[in-house]
Chain A
């Protein structure tokens, strides 16, 4: 049987290679991923949790793209996953990972149906990156990419959804150069037939390019429940409409000055809800206006902006977090003799032990203030106003992807008091190619990232907030032999101070506050070897040590050491 399958695959592959007109294409990914974990905790604090946890899997994502005609493509991807140790079919799962029909209608309108990736602007539909990575080193990035791949968290910050999208454009000879239209409709939730009505999410953009110097657009995203899909007549709606504009003008050769802005409004409605806490509607607006200067010859961009996001600005497509910090990680879910839930750490995401969002949420998902208190919901975080300054240098010989971002924000409305919190956040990072300093051919790269955040509020004793969070992210990758890299990395997060975190109800209204008093450091150190067969095929083994050290006596100190073996292949 195995021989027959191999022969069939060979024939099919040969057909692809020698065929005059491509009828189908095979792509996909495969990996083997093994974990050996050990919980490090004082015996007096925890004598009940099993210390070691070993597991792993192998999987194959087999993608087949069919081309019935030159304008149509049918993409399917199947996943076969086998948990290590699940012999003879035990632990094997077989899933459809992707099914998409795409094509061009009338040589004008592009369409996609099925599994589609969608992204608009940071205030409408945007999959904001999670906490715990500032220009991180390869030793962490290569494992994070596995999670991204599994969760469809693409580099362009798009969300994977199920539905349909179309786009088409018109070109003009005068006044404006082109207009592009994009539209989509997705199904966010099927009805349960009892209490949850079916939920759809749709929207679109119109982008008008007047010239190379001026372009603007209108964006709209809308959530709406379908009535009559349950007996009850409740209906949730959320509409976000924005306008964005980009204008630039050459001041002199290789230097341009421009403005970049987006402004808009949101409106959420809770129709026929019986819960007395449900507001009839919540409306607010935002604006974000920045002056942008490009020094093209030096590849430097300077952005100085001011933004004001209303306290009631609700844009689920842009505010949904990837990680829900109120939940517990999959590994060592409970620790200590009191069997308390272990809080999610940033390293749990890298190891694939967090429950990640796969659809947008109308509720603001709980966040971890120690990691990010200023913009936990990305650029669209509500109740923030202030200035920001971004300097980005995209490329140089020895330094690449260098950036410094400084943001100074306040709340636009107090929470629990009329006094407002103030935020300072500084992010910086660069890739240093040390080999270029010495003229070495083999790459020796140092990745550096820093994030500092300060939250403060003055007032009475019970109003005061002072929280500092410092995160250092560093990594080295050194090709010490042909295609063989030594990888080391460290992440150090030090958090000290106090704050209050909003406890919201399902309608996003603040009902209470959680008093948080932090004084801890979370450190992760990793090292490993990676062999690159080619750009798409790597084999690596690494050891990672993570620990949490609290300065107060009531919190539990612990650590997790982890050995992983990863074989990764894309084709």
Chain B
């Protein structure tokens, strides 16, 4: 009997060796769900002045009593650009609150003061915190910038405007999507949908784009102002490729890809699509061109931005800004 008891006690001891889970627990933390909310360490921005080309980023630091939703909203005082950073972590740090100077959408931030508002939407009665940052240098975009209209018209550009239309670069109006300038079309063309266009051509042999179209995105900011609404406004892009490399574009033998974008809403819109997609129409069918039919960004020598609007609606007005190619993903303002 003693032997049996000893064996049993040994078995019991062996079984009792389950790892003690005294620190771990299942499910979400009750403190996060139902615990009281307080700010343990003040939430602060690590720089009061941001020169993004030099500093790259800024971030926030602080500590809360619990994991809960927080939102940092940044608004440009001049441009009205907006960026929100949100999270749920208790500790706010560079890991979860870094700002690279970009905006959620157009317009982007300029050289200006940015207002900061920090809120906790799920915490009833919680304070809203305010701060400011002075932006002394705008974010540098990764990609191949064609133009942001900041340096005027290029030497090889050509424009088309109906006789009643004014197409020009506007600066310092505070209405640009990015930087200080944009291109505007304004006029009443009761006889035709075509309003105007600007053909952008490089001052060198080409735009210096990579050869592969499959991971290259074309991006542009567009803002219809007048004559907008369903079925009233669209943009046509003409991408001309110099396939034989002779420095000129021959419509009879080379590729001109025409891509259309229709708009309904007003405000700045980001047009972004993969360059390899321009060979297909909206139904996915291969478009007809006079060259080899393959989008080859390395051979692109001209981009024509053509603004069209409903001739029956009177005044047509729209802005374009910031033509840029990006790799692997669409542009983020």
Asked whether, in the complex, the Cβ of A417 is within 8 Å of the Cβ of B25, the reply is yes
- Cβ B31 vs Cβ A415 within 8 A: no
Would A460 and B35 be within 8 Å (CB), given that A289-B8, A310-B18, A412-B18 are in contact?
Answer: yes
Given B12, B24, B31, B33, which contacts A512 in the complex, CB threshold below 8 Å? Answer: B33
Interface set, chain B 3-20, CB cutoff 8 A to A: 4, 8, 11-12, 15-16, 18
Contact B15 A460 (CB under 8 A): no
With an 8 A cutoff between CB atoms, is A502 at the interface? yes
Q: What residues of B have a CB within 8 angstroms of the CB of A97 in the complex?
A: none
Contact A416 to B15, CB < 8 A, known contacts A289-B8, A462-B35: no
Q: Give every chain B residue within 8 A of A261 (Cβ-Cβ).
A: 11
- Give chain A nearest CB distance to B40 CB in angstroms: 15
Contact flags B32-47 to A (C-beta < 8 A → 1, else 0): 0111100000000000
Would A512 and B35 count as touching, CB distance under 8 A?
A: no
Chain A residue at smallest Cβ distance from B21 = A413
A513 touching B18, Cβ below 8 Å:
no
Confirm or deny: B29 has a beta carbon within 8 angstroms of a beta carbon on chain A.
Answer: yes
| Closest partner residue, chain A, to B16 (CB atom) | A308
A308-B11 CB under 8 A given contacts A462-B35, A510-B27:
no
Taking CB atoms, residues of chain B closer than 8 Å to A310 are 18
Q: Provide the residues of chain B in CB contact with A502, threshold 8 Å.
A: 26-27
Is B28 an interface residue when CB atoms closer than 8 A count as contact? yes
Residues of A458-472 whose CB lies within 8 A of B: 460, 462-463
Shortest B68–chain A CB gap in Å is 13
Contacts of A462 in B (CB 8 A): 30-31, 33-36
B172 in the interface (beta carbon within 8 A): no
Q: How large is the interface on A (under 10, 10 to 19, 20 to 34, 35 or more residues)?
A: 20 to 34
> Among the listed B15, B24, B29, which residue makes an inter-chain contact with A287, where contact means beta carbons less than 8 Å apart?
B15
> Is the CB–CB distance between A414 and B25 below 8 Å?
yes
**Other-chain contact of A418, B12, B24, B28, B34 (Cβ < 8 Å):** B24
Minimum CB–CB distance from A504 to chain B (whole Å) comes to: 9
In whole angstroms, how far apart are the Cα atoms of A448 and B63 in the complex? 57
Q: Is B128 part of the binding interface, using a Cβ–Cβ cutoff of 8 Å?
A: no
Enumerate chain A residues within 8 angstroms of B27, measured Cβ to Cβ.
415-416, 502, 509-513
Please, how many angstroms separate the alpha-carbon atoms of A416 and B24 in the complex? 9
**In the complex, what distance in Å separates the CA atom of A530 from the CA atom of B35?**
56
Query: A259 in the interface, Cβ–Cβ < 8 Å?
Result: yes
A311 CB–B CB distance under 8 Å: yes
B283 located at the interface, meaning its Cβ lies under 8 Å from any Cβ of chain A in the complex: no
When the two chains form the complex, which single residue of A259, A263, A413, A515 contacts B26, counting CB atoms closer than 8 Å?
A413
Determine if B26 and A311 form an interchain contact, defined as CB atoms under 8 angstroms apart.
yes
Quote the shortest CB–CB distance from A457 to chain B (angstroms). Answer: 10
* Residues of A contacting B204 in the complex (Cβ-Cβ under 8 angstroms): none
**Residues of A254-312 whose CB lies within 8 A of B:** 259, 261, 263, 287, 289, 291, 306, 308, 310-311
Residues of A within 8 A of B4 (CB): 247, 249, 259
Given contacts A289-B15, A308-B18, are A417 and B31 in contact (CB under 8 A)? yes
Those of A365-416 within 8 Å (CB) of chain B: 383, 385, 412-416
Tell me whether B163 is interfacial, beta carbon within 8 Å.
no
Counting CB contacts under 8 A, is A236 at the interface?
Answer: no
Q: Does B246 contact A (CB under 8 A)?
A: no
Q: Inside 8 A of A328's CB, which chain B residues have their CB?
A: none
B328 lies within 8 A of chain A by Cβ: no
Closest to A385 in B: B18
- Would B33 and A418 count as touching, CB distance under 8 A? no
Q: Are A416 and B33 in touch, CB under 8 angstroms?
A: yes
Contact mask A207-241 → B, CB, 8 Å, 1/0? 00000000000000000000000000000000000
Task: Point out the residue from A289, A308, A418, A463 that lies within 8 Å of B22, measured CB to CB.
Answer: A418
The interface residues of chain A lying within 8 Å CB-to-CB of B22 are: 418
Map CB proximity to B onto A307-330 as digits: 1 under 8 Å, 0 otherwise. 010110000000000000000000
Contacting residues, chain A, for B1 (C-beta < 8 A): 249
Known: A247-B4, A416-B33. A511 touches B15 (CB 8 A): no
Closest to B31 in A: A462
Q: B35 and A418: CB pair below 8 A?
A: no
Complex CA distance for A306 and B11, rounded to whole angstroms? 12
Q: Is B23 an interface residue (CB 8 A)?
A: yes
Give the distance to chain A from B37, nearest Cβ to Cβ, in Å. 11
A500 at the interface (CB under 8 A from B): yes
The docked-state distance in angstroms from the alpha carbon of A510 to that of B30 is: 12
Evaluate contact between A414 and B15: CB separation under 8 angstroms: no
| Closest CB in chain B relative to A557 CB, distance in Å | 28
B33/A513 in contact, CB under 8 A: yes
B30 engages A511 (CB within 8 Å): no
Checking A383, A385, A417 against B29 with a beta-carbon cut-off of 8 angstroms, the contacting residue is A417
* A308 to B12 Cα, complex, angstroms: 11
Interchain CB contact under 8 A, A412 and B21: yes
A512: B residues at CB distance < 8 A: 27-28, 33
Bound together, the chains give a CA A36 to CA B42 distance in angstroms of 66
Chain B residues whose C-beta falls within 8 Å of the C-beta of A511 in the assembled complex: 27-28
B25, closest chain A residue (CB): A414
Chain A neighbourhood of B34, CB < 8 A: 462, 515
13 contacts between A and B (CB under 8 A): A259-B4, A287-B15, A306-B12, A383-B26, A412-B18, A412-B21, A414-B25, A414-B26, A416-B26, A416-B27, A417-B31, A509-B26, A515-B34
Q: 8 closest A-B pairs (Cβ-Cβ)? A: A510-B27, A414-B25, A416-B30, A462-B34, A413-B21, A287-B15, A510-B26, A415-B26
Q: A291-B8, A414-B26, A510-B27 are in contact. List 16 more A-B contacts (CB 8 A).
A: A287-B15, A289-B15, A310-B18, A311-B21, A383-B26, A385-B18, A413-B21, A413-B24, A413-B25, A414-B21, A416-B25, A416-B27, A417-B25, A460-B35, A463-B31, A513-B27
Interface, chain B (partner A; CB < 8 A)? 1, 4, 8, 11-12, 15-16, 18, 21-31, 33-36
